[in-house]
Amino acid sequence: MTIQANIPLAAFTTIGLGGTARFFAACNSDADLREALSHARREHLRVHILGGGSNTIFADEGFSGLVLSMAMTGVEFTDRGTHVLVRAAAGEPWDRIVEASIDRGLSGLECLSGIPGLVGATPMQNVGAYGQEVADTILSVEAVDRSSLQSVTFSKAECRFGYRTSRFKQEDSDRFVITGVAFSLATHARPSLRYPELQRAVDRTVNFNTMESGRPALTAVRDAVLRLRRSKSMVVDPADPNTRSVGSFFTNPVVPPATFHAIEDRWKAGGSPIPHFPAGSSVKIPAGWLVERAGYPKGFQKGRVGVSLHHALALVNHGGTTAELLTLAGEIEDAVYLRFGIRLEREPVIVQ
């Protein structure tokens, strides 16, 4: 393993922002990871674990410690009858795993097609889209304890998954480094289309009800998801400037019914109902709708940053700085709070 000095970080993120890492190393194995963590401890260096950079924003000043890029790869498929165990190393590109699973006729990840980033990051924020979450199929998560350098395996229950969160993002955010994830995917199962938007996108191109289960139906869903994500600039594309983002910058608020009714009362003058969805005993409100109604429509631009032309939740870098982006994010949060009385929560990791 080689530790490099003074490495620009912007190129390692999808939003293209950030200064220089004082030290940088690519970890191709668990042994590399342990060696790097040991080195950082001896030299009293802060450590930041970097995946695909699709949910990371580095400060303009850079990072004064050691950035560790998770580069370990490898995928194993083990047949278990009605299910297949898929074990993927943390450094595998996420969409490669989704595509490989669909090619084998395995269901459970198809609605998560096109999401950028690496496998190791998916359990941290319980990645989800169009009615699916990785928590639905994760069997276990492998990690290294940063203090003891020992390997540990967590069951699905032990990961304590929630909406866009887990123990790895909450109470144990700086304790463990995820090195691999095991999924249990069904064979010959039919995809469940839970979102009307996705159902309509599928129906526009195929007669889904008459399609075979397995690979044909899964491929139809994947193709529709990719079309939808591209239409919102949510598939990384160097030719599309609106993809210079971290995807959704804010999570959809999930509130008790009483809070939702209070928000409705504040919006009565708006003249249209607030879109919302059930989330257990709570109510989920689309954050993009709140952002636009607070005065920040798609295509809004302030200086060299702005809101995506195609998705109100994506904040886009038009050649600006991290400071400019975070200032805009703060203004949007304040505007939503003043209009609706609710604080938006940020989804990306801000590294300073």
Owner of token pair 């989804």 = 347
Domain shared by 100 and 125, yes or no: yes
To the query of whether residue 92 is one of the catalytic residues in this protein, the response is no
**pLDDT tens digits, one per residue of 301-320:** 999 999 999 999 999 999 99
Domain shared by 79 and 221, yes or no: yes
pTM score: 0.93
Separation of alpha carbons 349 and 324, rounded Å: 16
Domain shared by 196 and 245, yes or no: no
- Is residue 269 scored above 90 in pLDDT? no
Contacts of 138 (CB under 8 A, 6+ apart): 123, 156, 159, 161, 181, 182, 183, 184
184 occurs within a structural domain: yes
Q: How many residues are there in the chain? A: 352
H/E stretch holding 78 reads strand 75-79
Separation of alpha carbons 330 and 336, rounded Å: 10
Estimate the crossing angle of helix 196-203 against helix 215-231, to 10 degrees.
110
Choosing from 54, 184, 248, 308, the catalytic residue is: 248
- Is residue 271 scored above 80 in pLDDT? no
236 occurs within a structural domain: no
Domain boundary among 27, 54, 70: 70
81 occurs within a structural domain: yes
Contacts of 210 (CB under 8 A, 6+ apart): none
Contacts of residues 126-133 at CB distance under 8 Å and 24 or more positions apart, as own/partner, are 126/161, 126/162, 126/163, 126/164, 126/165, 126/166, 127/94, 128/163, 128/164, 129/225, 130/194, 130/195, 130/197, 130/198, 130/225, 130/228, 131/192, 131/193, 131/194, 131/195, 131/198, 132/108, 132/194, 133/161
* pLDDT for residue 150: 97
- Is residue 71 scored above 90 in pLDDT? yes
Residue 251 sits in a domain whose CATH number is 3.90.78.10
- Is residue 103 scored above 80 in pLDDT? yes
Mean pLDDT of 6-11: 98
Domain boundary among 51, 70, 89: 70
To the query of whether residue 215 is one of the catalytic residues in this protein, the response is no
**Token code pair at residue 217:** 């139906």
Domain shared by 249 and 193, yes or no: no
To the query of whether residue 248 is one of the catalytic residues in this protein, the response is yes
* pLDDT for residue 303: 97
Domain shared by 219 and 292, yes or no: no
Mean pLDDT of 73-96: 97
The DSSP secondary-structure symbol of 30 reads H
Domain shared by 113 and 211, yes or no: yes
Domain shared by 173 and 251, yes or no: no
Task: Quote the number of domains for the chain.
Answer: 3
Confidence at 192, pLDDT banded by 50, 70, 90: confident
* pLDDT for residue 268: 81
Domain shared by 114 and 146, yes or no: yes
- Is residue 70 scored above 90 in pLDDT? yes
Q: What is the mean pLDDT of the chain?
A: 96
167 occurs within a structural domain: yes
Choosing from 34, 146, 164, 167, the catalytic residue is: 164
Confidence at 120, pLDDT banded by 50, 70, 90: very high
Domain that holds residue 296: 241-344
Mean pLDDT of 133-149: 97
Domain boundary among 231, 254, 279: 231
352 occurs within a structural domain: no
Residue 52 sits in a domain whose CATH number is 3.30.43.10
**pLDDT tens digits, one per residue of 323-339:** 999 999 999 999 999 99
Residue 123 sits in a domain whose CATH number is 3.30.465.10
Which residues is 155 bridged to in the sheet?
140
Separation of alpha carbons 244 and 267, rounded Å: 32
Neighbours of 219 (CB within 10 A): 19
Do the beta carbons of residue 198 and residue 220 sit within 8 Å?
A: no
Of 162-171, 251-260, 261-270, least confident by mean pLDDT is 261-270
Percent of the chain with pLDDT over 70: 99
Domain shared by 86 and 224, yes or no: yes
Of 44-58, 151-165, 262-276, least confident by mean pLDDT is 262-276
Domain shared by 83 and 107, yes or no: yes
**Cα atoms in the 13 Å half-sphere on the side-chain side of 275:** 9
- Is residue 270 scored above 90 in pLDDT? no
Owner of token pair 């393993």 = 1
Domain shared by 296 and 195, yes or no: no
**Token code pair at residue 321:** 């700085």
Domain shared by 53 and 118, yes or no: no
**Token code pair at residue 65:** 């410690």
351 occurs within a structural domain: no
* pLDDT for residue 272: 85
Distance of alpha carbon 7 from the chain centroid: 24
- Is residue 115 scored above 80 in pLDDT? yes
306 occurs within a structural domain: yes
311 occurs within a structural domain: yes
Percent of the chain with pLDDT over 90: 93
* pLDDT for residue 144: 98
Do the beta carbons of residue 86 and residue 101 sit within 8 Å?
A: yes
